[in-house]
């Protein structure tokens, strides 16, 4: 019997999620990222011994009966889920019985330039792709991709897919100390991200033991780097970090939101009560707006 359905996991970014691992027995991936929590393994370009779709579907239905309050069905893998050869069929079948739940895939984006993969991902409600760097030298060092993966093609594929995709596209960047943590890295990343135009960026760092000896950056570093990502809603993935609340003038709030939309969570943790009142005044006057970016509430300048 198929045994790689994860139980429900709560997430502020996506809601209560049921995870489906398409490679339960071993890591099967076209990346071998330095920060990966799975044991290092040789990269591949084809999945071995894929589980039949029917077996997966049967287990999903059982899990949904057990956990009826699920918000999101998340397709992932001990590796890369787009290597699963029956992914389109699987997604289409899930769509016939998901009953209002969102279908999400977590992918490294390596195959996104493949037109057939793009067509497959159009079946999903939310597509989350990794983009740790846009610099080939850094990409080679950090993500350690299979020889068939080309960063430039990957980026162009993300642009093409974003143009086709009408649902929620999220990009995730994970920062590793002394590898992709410079301002030059993020200025280059910003240029590409603004060409892709995703719904949202998730920015984080290492928070679990990794396969290789690499280190996380501090939360403060993430905040500094995030300032160079402009015009796209961005969430810093927080790891129980308490920020000190500050008072902002109306002009400071406008400049902050103009540089980068702030999530409701950012506002709650960063703004003191006076600043929240000033933000509400901007909303009342139509100078600021509230938007929903892939399930996360953001404040931005009108």
pLDDT digits (tens, 9 = 90+) for 40-88: 889 999 999 999 999 999 999 998 998 888 899 999 988 999 999 999 9
Nearest-angstrom CA–CA distance, 251 and 264 = 19
CATH number of 243-302: 1.10.10.10
Q: Where on the phi/psi map is residue 300: left (φ > 0), alpha (ψ -120 to 50), or beta? A: beta
The answer to which of 5-14, 192-201, 289-298 has the lowest mean pLDDT is 5-14
Q: What percent of the chain is modeled with pLDDT above 90?
A: 61
259 pLDDT more than 70: no
Residue 13 pLDDT: 60
pLDDT grade for 15, boundaries at 50, 70 and 90: low
Helix axes 250-259, 273-284, angle to 10 degrees: 70
247 pLDDT more than 70: yes
pLDDT grade for 291, boundaries at 50, 70 and 90: confident
Residues 61 and 76: beta-carbon distance below 8 Å? no
The answer to which of 50-54, 181-185, 266-270 has the lowest mean pLDDT is 266-270
Residue 264 pLDDT: 81
Nearest-angstrom CA–CA distance, 100 and 95 = 9
Residue 244 pLDDT: 63
The CATH number corresponding to 5-241 among 3.30.1360.40, 3.20.110.20, 3.40.50.1820, 3.20.20.70 equals 3.20.20.70
Residue 121 pLDDT: 98
Nearest-angstrom CA–CA distance, 76 and 89 = 15
- What ranges do the domains of the chain cover? 5-241, 243-302
Q: How high does pLDDT run on average in the chain?
A: 89
């Amino acid at each position: 019997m198929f045994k790689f359905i994860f139980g429900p996991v709560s997430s502020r970014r996506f809601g209560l999620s049921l995870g489906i691992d398409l490679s339960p027995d071993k890591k099967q991936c076209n990346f071998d990222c330095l920060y990966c929590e799975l044991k290092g393994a040789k990269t591949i370009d084809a999945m071995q011994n894929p589980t039949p779709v029917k077996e997966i579907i049967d287990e999903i239905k059982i899990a949904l009966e057990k956990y009826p309050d699920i918000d999101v069905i998340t397709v992932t893998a001990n590796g890369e889920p787009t290597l699963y050869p029956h992914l389109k069929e699987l997604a289409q079948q899930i769509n016939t019985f998901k009953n209002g739940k969102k279908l999400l895939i977590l992918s490294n984006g390596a195959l996104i330039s493949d037109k057939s993969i793009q067509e497959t991902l159009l079946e999903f409600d939310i597509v989350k792709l990794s983009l740790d760097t846009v610099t080939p030298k850094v990409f080679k060092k950090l993500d350690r991709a299979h020889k068939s993966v080309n960063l430039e093609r990957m980026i162009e594929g993300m642009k093409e897919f974003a143009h086709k995709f009408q649902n929620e596209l999220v990009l995730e960047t994970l920062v590793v100390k002394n590898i992709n943590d410079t301002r030059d890295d993020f200025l280059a990343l910003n240029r590409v991200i603004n060409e892709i135009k995703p719904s949202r960026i998730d920015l984080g760092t290492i928070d679990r033991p990794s396969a290789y000896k690499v280190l996380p950056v501090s939360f403060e570093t993430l905040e500094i780097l995030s300032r160079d990502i402009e015009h796209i809603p961005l969430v810093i993935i927080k790891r129980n970090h308490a920020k000190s609340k500050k008072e902002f003038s109306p002009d400071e709030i406008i400049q902050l939101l103009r540089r980068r939309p702030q999530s409701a969570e950012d506002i709650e943790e960063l703004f003191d009560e006076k600043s929240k009142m000033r933000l509400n005044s901007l909303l009342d006057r139509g100078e600021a707006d509230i938007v929903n970016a892939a399930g996360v509430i953001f404040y931005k300048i009108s």
